[in-house]
Amino acid sequence: MMYPSMRRMAAVGAAVLLTGSGALLAAAPAGAQDSQAGAPAAPAAVAPKGKVVSRLPLSIREQPKSASTFLGALKPGTVVELSCKKHGQNIAGNDLWYLLASKPGYVAARYVENLSPVPLCHK
């Protein structure tokens, strides 16, 4: 059984909650819900990543083939952002190469463990 003082406290608490929510609604900008009502927020685009798993520094090449111009190297264990994957020279049974997102060049997928799905290049 609820006593009269408990009922009064419950009623006062409900009134405070309702008043507080009205204040929050009044503070919202007038057009805040007009154009995007019900539309989900777009997730931030995150580049796929891969980890270099070679024992030696992994060569970065201008094209997806080992005879292409050398552009630099990545140390073993380095986590890199990948743009996309492309078919190229077969390296130890794997003909995929990853285009790096942060710098120009390709690395052989044979020596990169992809940490998230990598899309095919459109070119």
Residue 24 has pLDDT above 90, yes or no: no
Residue 16, pLDDT score: 40
**Residue 50: Cβ within 10 Å count:** 23
Q: What is the pTM of this model?
A: 0.64
pLDDT digits (tens, 9 = 90+) for 43-89: 667 889 999 999 999 999 999 999 999 999 999 999 999 999 999 99
Residue 89, pLDDT score: 98
Write down the mean pLDDT value for the chain: 79
Q: How far apart are CA 78 and CA 45, in angstroms?
A: 21
Residue 26, pLDDT score: 42
Cα-to-chain-centroid distance, residue 106: 21
Residue 122, pLDDT score: 87
Q: pLDDT: is 19 or 98 the higher one?
A: 98
Angle at 82 between CA 77 and CA 88, to 5 degrees: 100
Residue 109 has pLDDT above 90, yes or no: yes
Of 74, 15, 80, nearest to 47 (Cα)?
Answer: 80
